[in-house]
Amino acid sequence: MTGETSLGTVRQLWRYPASSLAGEPLDAISIGTTTVDGDRLFGLVDASDGEIARPDRSPKWHKVPLIRTRLTQDRRLEVAVPGGDWLPAPDPESDRAVSAFLGFAASILPFGKENAASDYTGPLTAARYAKAPIHLLTTASLARLKALHPEGVPDPRRFRPNILIDMKAVDGSFPETEWIGRKLAIGDLLLTVSEPCRRCGFTIIAQDGFDNDPGILRNVVRHNAHNLGVYCTVDRPARVAIGAPMRFV
């Protein structure tokens, strides 16, 4: 690899143990050949018909991102509704808490047997889309969105990156969108920027600390062809920690 000036450093690292629920911030993540270890292992479904949560499509799911998630050291899921305690999931008690919070019967289920605990014998569900590769976002793009939409709150939680890179703002640019095809080194991790991340209605939804805001998506659509952040494929897996430098290769 050739040496180049650092573009920035890792500010935040996230995994999302349950699709559409709040992510789990971590000091370090292990990234394999296709995704982050522990990412999107479970889904939330409507218990009446098996419909999987779609906060981007239906208001009935808009409170889902307020439900916190974490994985224990033995890779078991725990969830907590606002004001509630951490509860194991899948489990009848956590399903009751989630259902009471949402206002209808809902259940957390593993995406396939391979994601369930060895002693789990309950039902399974299937992911509604293929698991994405690594999602990378820069603070420079968030700063550009803030400049376009000053009254908005472009919190990274709206966009659910795995890796948030702290880098200087680039005037008039969402910089990572221009990196398609380039290779990045983040510590020992080697990535190829494969495609822009097309945004959906999830970005509009209120979460803890910010309100519902259609202007977020409106400005992304208008000024960056519907995209914010990028997907990356993994050329060399590694463990990455906050503070790791990022550079072009």
**Does residue 88 fall inside a structural domain?**
yes
- What distance in Å separates the CA atoms of residue 188 and residue 170, rounded to the nearest whole number? 26
Same domain, yes or no: 30 and 136: yes
The reply to whether 180 and 199 lie within a common domain is yes
Closest to 236 (Cα-Cα) out of 1, 18, 22: 1
86 φψ region: left (φ > 0), alpha (ψ -120 to 50), beta (else): beta
Residue 128 has what pLDDT?
74
Element (H, E) at 216: helix 214-224
Question: How distant is the alpha carbon of residue 46 from its chain centre?
Answer: 21
The CATH code of the domain that includes 152 is 2.40.33.20
Same domain? For 101 and 159 the reply is: no
- Do 184 and 156 sit in the same domain of this protein? yes
Q: How far is CA 150 from CA 112, 143, 179, 220, in A?
A: 43, 10, 26, 13
DSSP classification of residue 93: H
Residues 31 and 136 in one domain: yes
Q: Give the residue from 81, 115, 149 where a domain finishes.
A: 115
Residue 190 has a CB neighbour count (10 Å cut-off) of: 18
Answer for the pair 175, 201: CB distance below 8 angstroms, yes or no: no
Instruction: Give all strands (DSSP E) within 173-220, no chain letters.
Output: 183-186, 189-198
Task: Assess if residue 26 is contained within a domain.
Answer: yes
| Number of compact structural domains in the chain | 2
Are residues 139 and 83 part of one domain?
A: no
Task: Give the end of a domain, one of 90, 115, 140.
Answer: 115
* Token code pair at residue 48: 């009446």
Q: What is the pLDDT of residue 1?
A: 42
Residues 60, 171 within the same domain = no
Q: Are 143 and 235 members of one domain?
A: yes
Residues 144 and 234 in one domain: yes
Prediction pTM value: 0.95
Domain that holds residue 178: 8-35+131-248
The answer on 136 and 240 residing in a single domain is yes
d(CA 74, CA 51): 28
Residue 140: its H or E element = helix 139-148
pLDDT one-digit tens code per residue, 168-201:
999 999 999 999 999 999 999 999 999 999 999 9
In contact, 136 and 230? CB cutoff 8 Å = yes
Task: Show the low-confidence residues of the chain (pLDDT under 50).
Answer: 1-2
